[in-house]
Structure 1
């Protein structure tokens, strides 16, 4: 995430594996150009690419603005792209939705790893302790919603083999969706609202994604 494309290039330089960084001695900023000349981009249909209400309570005016910007003839674009969300929500693995299998497992693992790095900085050190903290301070931490997602992750018992199969299946369907959109539309990049499933699609496919302001 950055304020400009140059910010994103510099940040990516920092995040790159040293072996990959060595291939770009002058940094990724060398590849930046002034303007969109020669770059073919596609804008998704912002009226369709929106997060479900249970994940985000979005402002109606914001939605209208995004739909207007992404459909406006004043926005410079080479073509339009409307790839499927590709979040794997309908993909089944052993009669179970594949995406939640990976999410439940990875959430607990990554959160516990994060807490391990915060020794002495946090009053909780694991997902289990976080759930207890929320319960003990329910009026403050759980005023409008429960913690079913946290409980589901903590109680997850899926074997790692099943998690890996689910991750591979979700990744493949996301990759196929993005590749198809790029190929069919003849574009090099897809632009979508931040508050949309695009981040899930890109991360599942293993493709890079960046966030910058869209304006004049």
Structure 2
């Protein structure tokens, strides 16, 4: 068997060990198929990696017992020997975000980072969990997250929850900087799917699943040099996932390669809800630039605000320089290219001085969160009001000095049902996101992909429109080593275009660098 390690060194047999910080699921599947590796080997190696590093990184909320995982791996190894291969993820370890429900038989809670949900027992697996298990993936653990997918208190630190603690970037040493803004440049891993990104970057598993309402896949994946896509709303089943709002929520993959991303999409996506390419999403991994008509946003006009991300002039200058350099390269690669295309300002989402998206989330959260609670047993809470009171009663742990607010929950609780108001807000969000936003820009410049900074306003447009958005890993900040990325958005159900772009990008830009753990 080929030894597995996090560092590249020659073994005593002369074989080169597999590096968990670099190896993709595709790499591991090829080793499994050749007989050089077993799923039991992989499970043990991934669990050892978690045990070695998670005391610092806090990327995990729970992991399944080793004995249970070994039993699963042995079964899948036996199937492989009988040539019964379920999918391209057969026998591959995977992490899933801890807002994705799993039955007690997997020996892990589903907490969304809240102590109020510790010990609760879902009545069913989330639909995507069943799909992953049927495909032969081994769910080794539940990844940490910003508590309740960042839908708790304003300006809370990304990657923090009462259950999981403060997640740390695998790329930046020295601990989280408490005086930074909530998505600051310094050591912030991004959120809410922070653990899903940290865990893959740190070699805990080659792939993971996160979720996004607005930015929660794109930001942490970009800060971990990973590929992700938030799919078109509703094409990935959301049943069994602790919600923010069905209008904007979607689960999605996080991977080190586009091959892995496409293979995960082929498992996650419901073919009834969209048109999957003949041959699956993996058929879009062509590395071809042909047919990609790209428009790019001015990086100065689409970045985070000072409130969101405290200024680091050197970092921001580097990000801008590398973004413009990437644009220059795209000009010569794409079928057509338009720089500094116009896109309506995200300030247009505001109604009466407040974001219509924020209001929409509030109107939807109470109803959908309480609907989730109806499908769990042994829960400490049964309503949004119960959750708010639980946090007050356990303020020392749920509302600590560094993250003391639950004003977002309180606002959602205070909103009365108002169908007419909701309709006005939704129409406004769709108008700005789609009609006057992405659709108008696509039509004006005859483009099919819009590219801009991942750390900026594009994720708001994806949320408002319900359109797919993906990461393009770009570089590493000189001052602390943290990765940064671009984001690309396409029209509804155009995931194949984004995956083609990612595969072309992967073949044309420098290979990702692993963290120095």
1:160 aligns with 2:414: no
The Cα RMSD (Å) is 3.1
Partner of 1:42: 295
Q: 1:19 Cα shift?
A: 2.1
SS at match of 1:130: helix
1:98 to 356, 359, 368: 356
Deviations 1:31-55 (A, max 9, x none): 332143441222222222233455x
Partner of 1:29: 282
1:182 aligns with 2:436: no
Give 1 or 2 for the bigger CA radius of gyration. 2
SS at match of 1:214: strand
Deviations 1:139-162 (A, max 9, x none): 443324422222111110141232
1:200 to 450, 460, 463: 460
SS at match of 1:42: strand
Q: 1:41–1:191: 8 Å Cα contact kept in structure 2? A: yes
Partner of 2:309: 57
Partner of 2:93: none
Gaps of 5+ in 2: 1-227, 229-253, 332-336, 476-509, 511-517
Matched length: 212
2:409 to 135, 150, 163: 150
Question: Greater strand share, 1 or 2?
Answer: 2
Output the CA distance in 1 between the equivalents of 2:329 and 2:318: 13
Q: 1:114 Cα shift?
A: 4.4
Gaps of 5+ in 1: none
CA spacing shift, 1:19–1:126, aligned 2, 3 Å:
same
Output the CA distance in 1 between the equivalents of 2:474 and 2:372: 31
CA spacing shift, 1:13–1:87, aligned 2, 3 Å:
farther
Q: 1:20 Cα shift?
A: 4.7
CA spacing shift, 1:192–1:97, aligned 2, 3 Å:
closer
Q: TM-score by structure 1 length?
A: 0.78
SS at match of 1:168: helix
Q: 1:192 Cα shift?
A: 2.5
Q: 1:84 Cα shift?
A: 2.5
The structure showing larger relative contact order (alpha-carbon pairs under 8 Å, at least 6 residues apart) is 1
SS at match of 1:49: coil
CA spacing shift, 1:32–1:154, aligned 2, 3 Å:
same
Question: Greater helix share, 1 or 2?
Answer: 1
